[in-house]
Amino acid sequence: MASPIEFFSRNGAGPKGVPRSPRYAQIVGWGMAVPDRVLTNHDLALMVDTSDEWIRTRTGIAERRISSGPKETTSVLAVRAAREALRVADVPASALDLIICATSTGDYIMPPTACLVQDALGASKAGAFDLGAACSGFVYALSMARGAILAGDADYVLVIGAETISRLINWNDRQTCILFGDGAGAVLLAASPEPGGVLATTLGADGSGGELLWVPAGGSAHPSSHETLANGLHNLRMDGKAVFRFATRVMAEATREVAAKAGWSLEQIDLVVPHQANQRILQSSVVNQLKIPESKVVSNLERYGNTSAASIPIALCEAIEQGRVRPQQNLVLVGFGGGLTWGAVAVRWCAPVTPHPTRWWKTAQRQVGYQAASLRSWWRRSVRRVYTFALGPADEATPRGRLRISVDRWRERRFGKR
């Protein structure tokens, strides 16, 4: 029996019999942001028992970016990357329907970082949520964004991978502190009738391996306490060897699988943009197992280390900047990470890669829009504060309470029941 999707696509109609024109999810904008502060292997060698030579030969990493101070949070990096993606696409934030932020190091457990981004951009009609799939998060988010566009639920979806993973690191643990860095990358997906864009996706998970890469405390299983802090249970822990074995297997499998779904042979892949965890993982999975030449594999981990969910969009942005991405090329974006999770997406690149000429008035218009967004945010917060504290609880017995009841009634008449 045909699945509903097969049935309706064969009959060229949507579920209500409405003729369906083909829709594709095209990447039309991209941007990245990394902190200015650089932490080199030599710096690390002063902190733990390691050396530049050991880190380079075992991982390929030379330096990484570390967010400086409490003000350079995940959302701050995410907003910078998102604004750049909107600038490249020449699309206003008001056009966004959905914002997905893939992160394991959001500013807070609640609210979602995607909502902080929505507020800072002034994306007034966008839904926003965080997606937690560790380093595979960006690939998962692309898959969800594509689904929303193909279903007709959204025309513009902003997909962000953003992390300040340095905040989870035990800087005395030489096995983990050498690997990670902070950063953010974003792409804007747009609905388009032009064939191409994100053509196929494959996602996988194996929860039995959750403890190979985890942060034991801070969640509902072990809420933060003096004891969890004293035992360093809020720090990232990893079984490096087991993760290495898992990564080399799934990177190759996922690449093969997504290429087959897109109808490509491995030779037809023009560029692989993999999660940047370890140069030896890229070598052993993509180059040795799949026989894809190294020249087709994007690697920038030497300068950024492993930025978790941000690593793929950052690598993509740099590949575009270096002229390695061209229209009509076949790209595979492939990742793995904690969970355990893995995934890949196949992209037929269609967007022009020469940036729009930046006109001063466009830049000014965008800046005014972001200023207006922060003003609007401030105004809403202030009104809420005044409403809550000045008017007090709804109580017929006190003047403040009666005033509150009158204001509530007026709001109900003016704006309807909320």
Active site residues: 135, 275, 306
Q: In the numeric block, which tokens belong to residue 30?
A: 């991209």
CA–CA separation, 7 vs 322, rounded Å?
43
Least Å from the CB of residue 115 to ligand ACO: 24
Q: Is 313 in the site for ligand ACO (CB under 6 A)?
A: no
Binding flag, residue 279, ligand ACO (CB under 6 A): no
Q: CA 34, CA 49: separation in Å to the nearest integer? A: 27
Identify the residue among 255, 278, 285, 299 touching ligand ACO (CB under 6 A). Answer: 278
Please report whether residue 241 would count as binding ligand ACO according to CB under 6 A: yes
Q: How far apart are CA 306 and CA 59, in angstroms?
A: 10
Q: Is 147 helix (H, G, I), strand (E, B) or coil?
A: helix
In the bound state with ligand ACO, the residue whose beta carbon lies nearer, of 201 and 248, is 248
Backbone angles phi, psi at 38, to 5 degrees: -105, 135
Q: Does 174 bind ligand ACO (CB under 6 A)?
A: yes
Residues in the chain: 418
Beta bridge partners of 102: 131, 161
Beta-carbon contacts of 121 under 8 Å, excluding residues fewer than 6 positions away, are: 79, 82, 83, 86, 93, 96, 99, 370, 373
Among 187, 213, 269, 344, binds ligand ACO (CB under 6 A): 213
- The footprint of ligand ACO on residues 333-362 (CB under 6 A) is 337-338
Smaller CB separation from ligand ACO, 51 or 225: 51
Q: Exactly one of 54, 129, 214, 387 binds ligand ACO (CB under 6 A); which one?
A: 54
59 binds ligand ACO (CB under 6 A): yes
Q: Nearest distance from residue 59's CB to ligand ACO, in Å?
A: 5
Select 166 or 308, whichever has its Cβ closest to ligand ACO. Answer: 308
Map tokens 């799934």 to a residue: 250
With CA atoms as reference, report the closest residue to 300 among 320, 318, 284, 286. Answer: 318
**75 is a contact residue toward ligand ACO (CB under 6 A):** no
How many residues at the interface with ligand ACO, by CB under 6 A?
23
* Residue 134 engages ligand ACO in binding (rule: CB under 6 A): yes
Binding flag, residue 370, ligand ACO (CB under 6 A): no
Decide if residue 244 touches ligand ACO (CB under 6 A): yes
Q: 103, 279, 306, 330: which one contacts ligand ACO (CB under 6 A)?
A: 306
Per CB under 6 A, 274 contacts ligand ACO? no
Q: Which residues contact 7 (CB under 8 A, 6 or more apart)?
A: none
The dihedral through the CA atoms of 167, 214, 183, 304 has a sign that is positive
How many Å apart are CA 237 and CA 35, to the nearest integer? 24
Among 20, 23, 38, 50, binds ligand ACO (CB under 6 A): 50
Q: Is 135 in the site for ligand ACO (CB under 6 A)?
A: yes
For residue 165, how many other CB atoms are within 10 A of its CB? 28
- C-alpha torsion angle, residues 283, 289, 293, 299 (rounded to 10): -30
> Is residue 299 within the footprint of ligand ACO (CB under 6 A)?
no
Query: Least distance (Å) from ligand ACO to the CB of residue 274?
Result: 11
Asked whether the beta carbons of 164 and 105 are under 8 A apart, the reply is: yes
Which residues contact ligand ACO by CB under 6 A? 50, 54, 58-59, 134-135, 174-175, 178-179, 213, 238, 240-241, 243-244, 247, 277-278, 306, 308, 337-338
